[in-house]
Amino acid sequence: MESYDERLSAPRSWWVVAALVGVSMGLIFLPFGTLAMLAALVGGIALASVGVSAYGSARIRVVSGSLVTPTARIPVSALGPAEPLDAEEARAWRTHRADVRAYMLLRSYIPTAVRIPVTDPEDPTPYVYLSTRSPERLAAALEAVRAG
C-alpha cells in the first residue's frame, strides 16, 4: 500500500535550456554542413534532455512502512517525527545548519523540505533532509504509517 508518492521533476525552464543546448550544438557544427548541423542539433537536444530527465527523476515514496528515495530505503520505525520546513528554514538546514553525516536529497529548485530525525541508535545519520513540494503531506504520510 502506497501512501505518498512524489516525483521531484525539473522545472520547465530546464527543458528550454536543454533545447538551447541542442541549438548551440547545431550552430557549432554548421560549418561542417547541413547534415552535421542537424545531427548535432538532434544529438545535443537528446543528450541534454536525458540529463535533465535523469536529474528530475528522483522520487520520494512512503510505501510498506518505509520511506523510499533513489538511494535509500528507511523503515519508518527508525525515524522520528517529521518536521516540515518552510523556504527559510529549509535553506538554513541545507546550508549553515547542515550536518555532513545527514542523508540529504536536495533539489535547489524546490524551496521547501522535510527534516526527519533518525532514531536508530546503530545509525550514525542524525537526520534525513528531503526537498519536497508538499512537506505537510509527506509528514502526515509518515505519521500515518507510524500510528497505524
Average pLDDT, the chain: 94
**Contact in structure between 3 and 62 (CB atoms under 8 Å):** yes
In 3D space, the residue among 94, 90, 109, 106 whose CA is nearest the CA of residue 15 turns out to be 109
Q: Is the dihedral of CA 100, 106, 112, 116 positive or negative?
A: negative
pTM here is 0.85
Q: Render pLDDT for 14-59 as a digit per residue (tens, 0 to 9).
A: 999 999 999 999 999 999 999 999 999 999 999 999 999 998 889 9
